Amino acid sequence: MVNKRLIYVHFGNKSDLFDLVVANSLEGLASAVPFTAEDLPGYAGRLFDYLLEHPQVLRLTGWSQLERPEAPPAQVDAYRPKIAAIAGAQQRELVTTTVAPVDVLALLLGLTTAWANASPALRSLADQPPWDPERLRVHRAAMIVAAQALTEPPSTQGNGSTGGTICTP
């Protein structure tokens, strides 16, 4: 028989159990959507698709940030190889942006989750129902174009270029 006490004996307190659930969810995501620094726009597209099929992952990670603004070491360690892979791809000129690898990943993840995290009020203003498959296909295509622009050096981007200058604080 399973009861609350036995669950806590096995998994620890509520916080430990929640961290385990979040970690397992992120491990499932990482297994289903392998990170590819050499094709960040493709990775963004696959991640977008996965998150549409598994919206609980975004809810869990969002809730985790609300509960604990400081990241557990395991989550920090999960990002380290991705940052290193982006830096390596930059050195090999497979990712040609001059933006710092940690910022590349943050911006890429922001692009990927922008529609799901957008205000329902904003989504309601779309020309089609927000979760309509055609609407999502168009948004996904625009997100991939934005991810491609992120991985190019500013001097080679089309209209709207910063002229090769990146503002830093």
- As a whole number of angstroms, the distance between CA 37 and CA 105 comes to 10
For the stretch 18-40, pLDDT in tens is 888 888 888 899 999 999 999 99
- As a whole number of angstroms, the distance between CA 136 and CA 7 comes to 40
pLDDT at 69 over 90: no
pLDDT at 65 over 90: no
- Between 164 and 68, the more confident residue is 68
- As a whole number of angstroms, the distance between CA 65 and CA 113 comes to 15
Using DSSP's 3-state secondary structure scheme, residue 4 falls into: helix
State the pLDDT at residue 73: 83
pLDDT at 107 over 70: yes
Q: Please write down the HEC assignment for all residues of 41-54.
A: HHHHHHHHHHHHHC
Percentage above 70 pLDDT, the chain = 86
- CA proximity to 95, closest of 165, 167, 42, 158: 42
- As a whole number of angstroms, the distance between CA 117 and CA 109 comes to 11
For the stretch 126-155, pLDDT in tens is 999 999 999 999 999 999 999 999 987 655
- Between 52 and 156, the more confident residue is 52
pLDDT range class, residue 157, cuts 50, 70, 90: very low
Average pLDDT over the chain reads 85
- As a whole number of angstroms, the distance between CA 54 and CA 62 comes to 14
- Between 147 and 17, the more confident residue is 147
- Between 139 and 78, the more confident residue is 139
* Residue type (1 letter), 3: N
- CA proximity to 115, closest of 126, 99, 104: 126
- As a whole number of angstroms, the distance between CA 55 and CA 130 comes to 14
pLDDT at 161 over 70: no
- DSSP H/E element including 167: none
Residues 26, 72 contacting (CB under 8 angstroms) = no
State the pLDDT at residue 44: 97
For the stretch 41-63, pLDDT in tens is 999 999 999 999 999 999 998 88
- Tell me the two tokens of residue 147: 């991810």
Using DSSP's 3-state secondary structure scheme, residue 103 falls into: helix
State the pLDDT at residue 140: 97
